[in-house]
A and B are shown apart, each in its own frame.
Chain A
Amino acid sequence: MSSKFETQLLLSRPYLTRKQLLKLQSNTITDRRTYNQKKIAIYKFLSDICIQLKFPRRTLETAVYFYQRYYVFNAFETELCYTVATSCLLLSCKQVETIKKANEICSVSLRLRSAGKVTPDIIDNFKKRVLQIELRILEACAFDYRVNNSVHIDEYVVKMGRELKLDYQTCHLAWVIAYDALKLETLLIVPQHTIALAVLKTAHELLHSRESWPKFRYSAFETDEYSVSQAYFDILNFFINSFSICDLRENLPAGVPPVSIDTFIELKKNAGHEFGLKEASDDAIEADAYLTTPRDFSIRERRYVLSPKLVADEAQQKNFNNHR
């Protein structure tokens, strides 16, 4: 393919459905189990760096989005994932304006992983590798800065919680649940404000009756029922399937009754039929070249655009030129 094409035009798709993600990951992740195990380790590792360097939650959130998005389009290799994660964090700091020197981030990253002495030479070599990945991460995101720009889950938990007149304890609990929610692929599926609404709903149901959840139109929060439901069920399924690795258990806010797998099974039972974003048919997915063709980074000019109109205009122009 690469020898034929000198230029490629890619329209950004910042969010993908679960099926679309699986299709793309089938090109990049050979061992799903290892990938998932590593992802949890990487999440802990990134959290530790963020704690050491006193980064806010949004820095971690953006780094996790970058990390997962990177492996949607690049082959997953266990040897490289800590370097990729460090690069994601460096880029995330730039993205959310929590600037730290690359040296400092690399040094903490190395110290957290190795027992040996971290010399300036080791840091320099590591930094070179980290910096090489930066652009590739941005390519995986199609340079789409609309995501991870000003909407972050923790901030929207507070804003929406206040708007919905939810009590302090509910918002606090939602904030803790949101930390666990970052471990999910949901970040790649629906926008952050939708996840914020889903964690608020989960927190509310853990503390109050399901019926007392305020009535409002999802469109008032620039989202829809399917997206919120997608995130809500993702969260419930995580606690049901992976309760042992959740952080909620050990970090329940004061006054919140203890939770267990059964608590979440009960919530899911009461939630009724599980639904989320509408998935395309298998045929449609197979016919979508964006999902089925692995990215070719050897193409000379790789263009990334956000506007479908630009793509349509250009296609029209090409047709016009070809017919002339």
Chain B
Amino acid sequence: MSQVEYTKERKVGEGTYAVVYLGTKQSSGRKIAVKEIKTSEFKDGLDMSAIREVKYLQEIQHENVIELIDIFLAYDNLNLVLEFLPSDLEKVIKDRSILFTPADIKSWMLMTLRGVHHCHRNFILHRDLKPNNLLLSPEGIIKVADFGLARTFPSAQEILTSNVVTRWYRAPELLFGAKHYTSAVDIWSAGVIFAELMLRIPYLPGQNDVDQIEVTFRALGTPTDADWPDVSFFSAYNKLQIYPPPSREELRRRFIAASENALSFLCGMLTMNPQKRWNAVECLESDYFKEAPAPSDPFSIKIS
């Protein structure tokens, strides 16, 4: 082959471990995103996030998960070729000129949960779900992206770090510093995203890690041993202010446009006890998705 297959045309973003370019796949003319991994700048070599991203995206192929098209080395830099996705849910939420309906929210939640379910049934925890990582294709399809913190389901005795998930979307077990947790951490994040979509402002915006605990429990009640056995064994538990859980009426007032099924769906995802929290299948089978209005056709949602 006489010419390079991928071009990088415009820098569209820069993160801690990578620079993202908009480019073209020459043989097909397809628009793509090239994530150039900064290899030399890390004191421990190739960054774990890059390794995880490749490892899990190679494993997962689903309509609601970003596609890893190719991997290439150029000038000794590692480049990941990903499908080009021009927008994300954070941009949509923040852009006040975009109006969206409960049916649109339902469509986005359905696509997100399908992507998350696919990860979970392949034994992969995403561990960083947030609106910014839910990208939108030109056809309006949600794609779960950024697998830099993902990992496979741990075996029973394996110790995990609780320093995962962006603070506002962090599940209570992570706030308590749990060393063993499950796919329920992703469902909690999905619940917070659902609340944010309905409110159009972040639902649990803690200023720091300590404040996050306060904000979370003030909004949703402090868990007790009665509904989450042994929660008081977490060392951070003793310092907590005890708040009662919100009544159904309080939730109705907070989420004015939400139906009863939408509130049950929200409560299922934001259940304090991770063992009682809904899993991805329970979420997808929720009555919320069965009642009117039906989820919007993604292509019909106007996001620009």
Contact = CB atoms under 8 A, between A and B. Distances in A.
Interface of A: 4-9, 90-91, 94-95, 97, 99, 101-103, 130-131, 134-135, 138-139, 143-146, 149-150, 300-306, 310, 314, 317-318, 321
B152 to A, nearest CB: 6
Contacts of B43: 102-103
B121 to A, nearest CB: 14
Nearest to A98: B158
Contact of A102 (B4, B44, B58): B44
A145 B58 contact: yes
Contact of B44 (A95, A101, A306): A101
A280 to B, nearest CB: 26
20 contacts: A7-B1, A91-B45, A94-B46, A95-B51, A131-B45, A131-B46, A134-B46, A135-B46, A135-B76, A138-B46, A143-B71, A145-B54, A149-B59, A300-B74, A302-B72, A303-B72, A304-B70, A305-B70, A305-B71, A317-B28
Interface string B1-21: 111111000000000000000
Nearest to B40: A131
Given A301-B4, A303-B70, A303-B72, A135 B44 contact: no
Given A135-B39, A145-B58, A150 B152 contact: yes
Contacts of A90: 44-45
A94 B53 CA distance: 12
B192 to A, nearest CB: 26
Contacts of B48: 94, 99
Given A5-B2, A7-B1, A102-B44, 8 more contacts: A7-B4, A90-B45, A131-B45, A135-B46, A135-B78, A138-B46, A303-B70, A306-B58
Interface string B40-68: 00011110100100110011000000000
A6 B45 contact: no
Given A4-B2, A146-B58, A150-B123, A97 B151 contact: yes
Contacts of A302: 72-74
Ranked nearest first, the 7 interchain pairs of A and B with the lowest CB-CB distance are A145-B55, A131-B45, A303-B72, A102-B44, A301-B4, A7-B1, A302-B73
A102 B242 CA distance: 44
B151 A318 contact: no
Nearest to B160: A97
Contacts of A305: 70-71
A300 B73 CA distance: 8
Given A95-B51, A97-B151, A101-B44, A139 B73 contact: yes
Given A143-B54, A146-B58, A304 B72 contact: yes
A95 to B, nearest CB: 7
Contacts of A9: 1, 5
Contacts of A143: 54, 71
A6 B70 contact: no
A213 to B, nearest CB: 28
Contacts of A314: 27
A253 to B, nearest CB: 22
B72 to A, nearest CB: 4
A318 B1 CA distance: 9
Interface centre among A91, A94, A321, by most B CB within 10 Å? A94
Nearest to A142: B71
B233 interface: no
Given A5-B2, A301-B6, A102 B45 contact: yes
Contacts of A6: 1-4
Contacts of A139: 73
Contacts of A138: 46, 78
A91 B75 CA distance: 21
Nearest to B76: A135
Contacts of B78: 135, 138
A301 B74 contact: yes
Contacts of B70: 303-305, 310
B56 to A, nearest CB: 8
A321 B5 contact: no
A103 B44 CA distance: 8
A130 B48 CA distance: 16
Contact of A303 (B5, B45, B51): B5
A7 B5 contact: yes
Interface centre among A91, A130, A145, by most B CB within 10 Å? A145
Contact of B1 (A8, A91, A95, A146): A8
A301 B78 CA distance: 10
B76 to A, nearest CB: 7
Contacts of A144: 58
A304 to B, nearest CB: 5
Interface string B92-126: 00000000000000000000000000000001000
